Chain A
Amino acid sequence: MADESFDLLGCLERVRQRDQLAARQLVEHLYPLVSRIVRSHLPRRVAEEDLAQDIFLKMFTRLEQYQGNVPFPHWVSRIAVTTCIDQLRAQKRRPEFRWADLSENEAEVLDNILTDERDVAPGQALAARELVQKLMAQLKPDDRMVIQLLDLEQKTIAEISGLTGWNQTLVKVRAFRARRKLQKLFQELQSKERS
């Protein structure tokens, strides 16, 4: 969060009293947090701004339900994550994953990974991230969310449980299922000739 001196509780109180200026300040204060979550879990063909808007509207609608049991940014994060999951569920599944779907850099990264020859060069980090996103797009939305949070964002099982509302066993099961699906995907790609 950018501004440490921001009076969040005071702002929330004013928002509850329908103060538009406070509502604007609250959006500006929380936008970096919401934007980061949206970018990490953005479904295809959904505009980042539209999804962020949905999340903020949900936040305003449910503001009276906020009891202060958890920090407010955490509460908003949960709304953001569940909204992203809903959007991911709504999108249709991708067709079969092929080498041809990858850019030249992504294909090179995948080649390096699958042949176990070299490490991924530091300059290929961006391509690696794009590749991971494309691979994860093959997973079910819930499984994808778990892998994103667990492997990419390095959150703990307990943190994921808190963010998604799923119990810890379910998170572990989804992570296991997702990795198995990814393993299958890797095996399929390995068996196919790179075109």
Chain B
Amino acid sequence: MNRFDRQWQKLIVAARQAPAETGATVPYGFATRLAAQAAALPATPWLPLERFAWRGLLVAAVCGISAIAFNYSVFTTEQTDIYATGTTDVVVDLLDIS
């Protein structure tokens, strides 16, 4: 323990011996005023929003999955038929690869 640590410990030990401050009684009217203020607070604005957000996410996920499921066949057939069905793709025409 260096000199400062010794000095600081001595001071802290003395400070801890100071009597605890009394008078922790609620000031007159304090609790009533706070209770009134608490009653006037808006009713937890974040929780309903949070519920909406989760519902929104669920609906969006269902829509997304449905969209993929309904259009899956279209995606796959378009990919395979692109060269076979006489497409008018400019690049295909230019390179003459049809």
Contacts and interface: CB of A to CB of B under 8 A. Distances in A.
Interface residues of B, number: 34
A131 B32 contact: no
A129 to B, nearest CB: 4
A23 B39 contact: yes
Contact of A39 (B3, B21, B35, B38): B21
Interface in A27-72: 27-28, 31-32, 35-36, 39, 49, 52-53, 56-57, 60-61, 64
B38 A57 contact: yes
Contact of A60 (B10, B15, B38): B38
Contacts of B39: 18, 20, 23
Q: Which of B14, B17, B21, B39 has the most CB of A within 10 A?
A: B14
A125 B38 contact: no
Contact of B3 (A31, A35, A56, A116): A116
Given A109-B11, A151-B12, A182-B4, 15 more contacts: A15-B38, A20-B39, A23-B39, A27-B26, A31-B25, A31-B26, A49-B30, A53-B34, A57-B38, A119-B10, A125-B18, A126-B19, A128-B18, A179-B8, A186-B4
In the A-B complex, the 3 residue pairs with the smallest Cβ-Cβ separation, listed nearest first, are: A120-B14, A128-B14, A23-B35
